[in-house]
Structure 1
Amino acid sequence: MTTRRLTVAQALVAFLAHQYTERDGRRQRLITACWGIFGHGNVAGIGQALLESHEDLPYLQGRNEQAMVHAAVGYARQSDRLRAQAVTTSIGPGATNLVTGAALATVNRIPVLLLPGDTFATRPAEPVLQQLEVPCAGDVSVNDALRPVSRYFDRVTRPEALIPAALQAMRVLADPVETGAVTLALPQDVQAEAYDWPEEFFADRVWRVTRPAPDADALAAAVAAIRAARRPLLIAGGGVHHSEAEGALRAFADTTGIPVAATQAGKGSLRHDHPADIGGIGHTGTATADGLAREADLVIGVGTRYTDFTTASATLFAAPGVRFVNLNIASFDAHKLGAASLVADARTGLEALTRELKDHRVDPAYEAGYGAAKADWERRVDAAYAAADASARPSQTQVLGALDAVADDTDVLINAAGSLPGDLHKLWRARSRRQYHVEYGYSCMGYEIPAAIGVGIAAPGRPVWALVGDGTYLMNPTEIVTAVQEDIPLKLILIQNHGYASIGGLSQETGGERFGTDYRFRADDGTYTGAPLPVDLAANAASLGLHVIRAGTVGELRAALAEARGANHPTCVYVETETADTVPGAPEAQAWWDVPVAETATRPAAVAARAAYDRHAADRRRHL
């Protein structure tokens, strides 16, 4: 047997360079690059191996371990989960900083390979630097914190153990059902240990991503349910995008006339101007989609996990006897809400449904009704976007309107937290399949800037916008330096609203009276209700290397966005907004969200909020 003598780290890098995915006959590299911050736990192992083989596995330099994972997630999502990136860190705080990013990847089911250093496998001296001592378990390290947020976890304590561990890691990363964060913890002494590796370990290996078809009987049952429904509604989730099923969904809608609502992850599955597209659904949905959801007698979920925002905390689907048909590649999701399940690839399943329903269409009156409601909502969007006075300070919705005016099909919008996800889900007119990139499975503040870098690497030439409020910006601005270093022309829209605007509003609704949600000096009574803090985030962004354009009015904002879109270098548009951002003519939330309120309190705001909570909670139901 032919062997090659390499260290464990060198062997892993060589192995990763030969892993491929293949779907629909298109083959591409599975792991295309490795992000890394080096310390004593990986500098002489993985770091040395990347230096030696940087042409096989390119290295990307990050500034924050969590942010490196976010960048890798942005890259993989833009790549339809068929390409991914690795992230290496030292032991100790470098490794534990991965936990939030790993949770985000696993919650959203996006592949990322984590390669944290670990304490010595041979235990030559204990405790070593950054070692967690557990008196009852000598094999525990801080990396065990990654176990619950990883889809696969292994600690490689012997060189030969790398072979099965690496193969399992690739299997999980490439599997659309199992994928998420994958962790291979690498003790620093094992990384540097040499071993005679079988040459077959480094052969090209293709992980085929198949498109399983639905079971014939399950398909027949789903078709019968759809034919019998008078008010069917389809919910498009992120699985539509991951499967590249947008064309199949459009054909289904064209054939049947069934309206299509979208989750945060599924928005853009149909273009905003398609007659069947009725916008976002759930707590942050449109009045059109949520109104149809309340009256639907059949809900067809395609590639959705049915989070509480989508179901309005189990209050949205209110019609007596409403039933569900779920098309999902994951059996776990396909069986939710007592549904008739189609366990299949989204594109394959939609194509099969369309063939079986080629002679079926919803009642014309139903189609005309939701068409009129859609047109009414579009008028509300126009009103929210409009700004009569170009010399006035813009609202947040007017910021989106100004961006809508300069964007085209190629732009990508990235957001994750604050009040922006709600406004975007209700208002943004998605023009293409990967334009709308809102991370709302984990809704992680600080995701946007590094994710924009990942998207920029995956889709060079597309204008990529990271939309952040001041609270999110302060959480994680460090990767601005990476964008400058790599000359990735991200476009950052930095909205100054002096605190946590979204949580401030939620606090107000739930009796918290905005306590602790504003960025202000302390007042005489000890609360943070004094003057706004005199911070200059635009100056901060400029100090990190961004070209910054300050926009104080609607007119200046329009000019700034046009300039930023045309820039070929990293650029920031800084704008301070008015805070009254509800959609004209509609309540801010179209449906409820369950945030428990104090059952007993002395302050009137909390007492009133609890009464409202009890009224909404009474509408919850279990679909069995």
Structure 2
Amino acid sequence: MNQEHPTSMTCAELLIRLLRDTYGVDTVFGIPGVHTIELYRGLEGGEGSGLRHVTPRHEQGAGFMADGYARATGRPGVCFIITGPGMTNIATAMGQALADSIPMLVISSVNRRDTLGRGQGRLHELPSQQQLLAGVSRFSHTLLDPEGLPEVLARAFAVFEGARPGPVHIEIPIDLFDAPVSSPRRWRRSPLAKAAPAPDAIAEAAAWLASAERPLVLLGGGCADSPGAARTLVEALDAPAVTTINAKGLLGRDHPLDLGANASLPAVRELAREADVVLAIGTELGETDYDVVFDDGFVLGGRLIRMDLDPQQLARNQAADLALVADAGLALESLAARLKGTCLARGGDERARTVRQALGLDRDPAFSPYVPLFDTLREALPEAILVGDSCATTYAANHLVAQPAPRRFFNASTGYGTLGYGLPAALGASLARPDLPVVALVGDGGVMFTLPELACAVEERLPVVILLWHNQGYEEIRRFMEDAGVTRLGVDIQAPDFLTVAHGFGCLATRVTTPVELAHALASRPADGPLLIEIDAAAWTAAVAHA
């Protein structure tokens, strides 16, 4: 037995040691409460404990920070959350993570074992906290025996590493935190080999693709850790590729075969209808990637090959002609290896170029205010991670932005589509990747959901740029109301003076109305704290139109 691991300790101490020593967790997001004090005994010593504790200002912020941390690294974000209201607060963040298959470990307290389900009006009591959270997690487990902690943690990390990831919730009754527990027999995590595709199925898929005249590749977020294989595959096939929002950057910046996340636009849809073989890897083929116009117009005309870790997902949205159950990254790598060196000249570059010209995104009046915005960002911060809320700039970025690598663009417009995500998720990404600049794309409506997290950004001295697009309310909902002939109600909301609010938190803030002013603001951003840049949408749009 390693001398660092005593033979007896409390359940809370064992939890900290397992997270840190066995699973390599380095950061925990949480707000201490009366029910979780014993967890913090295990965190004594601050940096000396090997775990960094970050205190958000709301449990929803904790969940979004953990989500951003996980998306930026591929490693699970970890939260310590209080019983009852803490769990209902974080449920929205767990719902977003579940929808986008993001690994998140939520450790919570729950009332004493002898009171569970008895409805005695105990502090923070819920009829069944475990049942409530089961709907927004891959599984929710109530620990009733402290000796079972190593096993349930192993189950959680098995989900993160070997199954379709998502949030896992483990609740620990408050009478177990200081319960004595013996040191586990093994501190080392069990190695887990991911599910590989069947060789005969890979051979069949390769044969279909090799004989295709007009192949199309659809790459989803499940491929994020295999960018080299993705490039090898699409280049060997000489096939245009759609990279979804969570796969942006997979082929590198401005790859000639990359059509981006534009599957909802007519030119890409026509390409999908004309394709004789379509390969979809690590993608749900879901509405928020392929049908954001909500008309069920994304139709595949040819044979469909699907590869995904989740067998149930292979039966959803689009019926496959050939379905492979496997880790998306391994499936991509296996198929790329089989086709490497193949020279299938089928005019892929020209097909992709024709589609991009038809899309004409840089000429589309709907995108005209945003093209100079993202051109300015790209010039000033070419390596930045962009983290978006559900807001106008994010919706435009989904179509306009190209990134140099995966895990550098993600937002809340996919799947669950919550508001308030952008700011705290950007903080999580900055904590995870201090080597890269991070930009939060937020709007004046959504940012109000989690604006207090500015205090956390200042406290942690995180150099995040918060790009706040101020269009005087809920612009997208205004447009939907007008298109539906519904009187505008509840969408023209009062906003605070964001610069005054930011200054009150100790955050530097400025207001810009032109790309030149934005470039100056970005050039003078602080290295040891956040900067809020407010863009007056009306003034910016007018300035761009007259430039």
User: TM exceeds 0.5?
Assistant: yes
8 Å CA contact 2:219–2:242 kept in 1: the answer is yes
Letter of the structure 2 residue corresponding to residue 326 of structure 1 = R
Match among 85, 91, 98 for residue 83 of structure 2 = 91
User: Structure 1 residues 381, 562: CA separation in 2 closer, same or farther (over 3 Å shift)?
Assistant: farther
Letter of the structure 2 residue corresponding to residue 457 of structure 1 = L
Tell me the equivalent position of 1:478: 452
- Deviation (angstroms), 1:405: 3.0
8 Å CA contact 1:418–1:503 kept in 2: the answer is no
- Find the aligned partners of 1:360 and 1:518 in 2 and give their Cα distance: 56
User: Structure 1 residues 346, 131: CA separation in 2 closer, same or farther (over 3 Å shift)?
Assistant: closer
- Find the aligned partners of 1:423 and 1:548 in 2 and give their Cα distance: 24
- Deviation (angstroms), 1:149: 0.8
8 Å CA contact 1:396–1:578 kept in 2: the answer is no
8 Å CA contact 1:492–1:571 kept in 2: the answer is yes
Match among 123, 133, 140 for residue 115 of structure 2 = 123
User: Structure 1 residues 540, 492: CA separation in 2 closer, same or farther (over 3 Å shift)?
Assistant: same
Tell me the equivalent position of 2:233: 252
Write out per-residue CA displacement over residues 313-369 of structure 1, whole angstroms, 9 at most, x where no aligned residue: 5733446x52211122322333442211122333432333334444452533x6424
User: Structure 1 residues 383, 486: CA separation in 2 closer, same or farther (over 3 Å shift)?
Assistant: same
Tell me the equivalent position of 2:7: 4
- Find the aligned partners of 1:580 and 1:458 in 2 and give their Cα distance: 32
Tell me the equivalent position of 1:191: 177
- Deviation (angstroms), 1:471: 0.6
The alignment partner of 1:51 has SS state of coil
| Residues 154-165 of structure 1: pairs in structure 2 closer than 5 A | 154-165=141-152
Write out per-residue CA displacement over residues 259-290 of structure 1, whole angstroms, 9 at most, x where no aligned residue: 0112111122123421101121333x5x5433
- Deviation (angstroms), 1:251: 1.1
Letter of the structure 1 residue corresponding to residue 81 of structure 2 = T
The alignment partner of 2:391 has SS state of coil
Letter of the structure 2 residue corresponding to residue 268 of structure 1 = G
The alignment partner of 1:165 has SS state of helix
User: Structure 1 residues 200, 37: CA separation in 2 closer, same or farther (over 3 Å shift)?
Assistant: same
Tell me the equivalent position of 1:423: 396
- Deviation (angstroms), 1:513: 4.5
| Residues 184-583 of structure 1: pairs in structure 2 closer than 5 A | 184-192=170-178, 194-200=179-185, 203-208=187-192, 210-241=193-224, 244-283=225-264, 285=265, 287-312=266-291, 315-318=296-299, 321-336=301-316, 337-339=318-320, 340-357=322-339, 358-364=341-347, 367-375=349-357, 377=359, 380-381=361-362, 395-408=369-382, 410-439=383-412, 440-519=414-493, 533=494, 535-564=496-525, 567-578=527-538
Letter of the structure 2 residue corresponding to residue 48 of structure 1 = R
Match among 43, 48, 56 for residue 50 of structure 1 = 43
Moved more, 439-448 or 306-315: 306-315
Moved more, 156-165 or 146-155: 156-165
Letter of the structure 2 residue corresponding to residue 571 of structure 1 = L
8 Å CA contact 1:549–1:572 kept in 2: the answer is yes
- Find the aligned partners of 1:580 and 1:224 in 2 and give their Cα distance: 52
Write out per-residue CA displacement over residues 470-512 of structure 1, whole angstroms, 9 at most, x where no aligned residue: 0111111122111111111011001111111122222233333
In our comparison, the structure showing a higher alpha carbon Rg is: 1
Letter of the structure 1 residue corresponding to residue 176 of structure 2 = V
- Find the aligned partners of 1:515 and 1:230 in 2 and give their Cα distance: 52
- Find the aligned partners of 2:323 and 2:175 in 1 and give their Cα distance: 49
- Deviation (angstroms), 1:171: 2.2
User: Structure 1 residues 438, 123: CA separation in 2 closer, same or farther (over 3 Å shift)?
Assistant: closer
Letter of the structure 1 residue corresponding to residue 173 of structure 2 = P
- Find the aligned partners of 1:404 and 1:55 in 2 and give their Cα distance: 39
**Count of aligned residue pairs for this structure pair:** 531
- Deviation (angstroms), 1:119: 1.1
- Find the aligned partners of 2:262 and 2:207 in 1 and give their Cα distance: 25
Match among 126, 145, 155 for residue 168 of structure 1 = 155
- Deviation (angstroms), 1:238: 0.3
User: Structure 1 residues 486, 415: CA separation in 2 closer, same or farther (over 3 Å shift)?
Assistant: same
8 Å CA contact 1:14–1:56 kept in 2: the answer is no
8 Å CA contact 2:14–2:183 kept in 1: the answer is no
- Deviation (angstroms), 1:95: 2.1
8 Å CA contact 2:18–2:150 kept in 1: the answer is no
- Deviation (angstroms), 1:239: 0.9
User: Structure 1 residues 206, 460: CA separation in 2 closer, same or farther (over 3 Å shift)?
Assistant: farther
- Find the aligned partners of 2:325 and 2:161 in 1 and give their Cα distance: 18
User: Structure 1 residues 225, 416: CA separation in 2 closer, same or farther (over 3 Å shift)?
Assistant: farther
Letter of the structure 1 residue corresponding to residue 523 of structure 2 = A
- Deviation (angstroms), 1:551: 0.9
User: Structure 1 residues 534, 425: CA separation in 2 closer, same or farther (over 3 Å shift)?
Assistant: closer
- Deviation (angstroms), 1:514: 3.8
- Find the aligned partners of 1:130 and 1:273 in 2 and give their Cα distance: 51
8 Å CA contact 1:36–1:89 kept in 2: the answer is yes
User: Structure 1 residues 567, 514: CA separation in 2 closer, same or farther (over 3 Å shift)?
Assistant: farther
8 Å CA contact 2:210–2:237 kept in 1: the answer is no
- Find the aligned partners of 1:386 and 1:437 in 2 and give their Cα distance: 19
The alignment partner of 1:200 has SS state of coil
The alignment partner of 2:354 has SS state of helix
User: Structure 1 residues 13, 352: CA separation in 2 closer, same or farther (over 3 Å shift)?
Assistant: closer
- Deviation (angstroms), 1:183: 1.0
The alignment partner of 1:261 has SS state of strand
- Find the aligned partners of 1:501 and 1:451 in 2 and give their Cα distance: 22
- Deviation (angstroms), 1:386: 9.9
The alignment partner of 1:205 has SS state of coil
Letter of the structure 2 residue corresponding to residue 569 of structure 1 = G
**Mind listing any 5+ residue stretches in structure 1 that lack a counterpart?**
21-28, 133-139, 388-394, 520-532, 585-624
- Find the aligned partners of 2:94 and 2:343 in 1 and give their Cα distance: 44
Tell me the equivalent position of 2:33: 39
8 Å CA contact 2:63–2:94 kept in 1: the answer is yes
User: Structure 1 residues 404, 129: CA separation in 2 closer, same or farther (over 3 Å shift)?
Assistant: same
Letter of the structure 1 residue corresponding to residue 503 of structure 2 = A
State the TM-score, normalized to the length of structure 1: 0.79
**Mind listing any 5+ residue stretches in structure 2 that lack a counterpart?**
none
Write out per-residue CA displacement over residues 188-224 of structure 1, whole angstroms, 9 at most, x where no aligned residue: 12212x22413425x232443x354321221232123
8 Å CA contact 1:150–1:182 kept in 2: the answer is yes
- Find the aligned partners of 1:18 and 1:496 in 2 and give their Cα distance: 45
Among all aligned residue pairs of Structure 1 and Structure 2, give the percentage whose two residues are the same amino acid.
27
The alignment partner of 2:80 has SS state of strand
- Deviation (angstroms), 1:167: 2.7
- Deviation (angstroms), 1:46: 1.0
The alignment partner of 2:387 has SS state of strand
- Find the aligned partners of 1:325 and 1:6 in 2 and give their Cα distance: 52
Letter of the structure 1 residue corresponding to residue 165 of structure 2 = T
Moved more, 508-517 or 141-150: 508-517
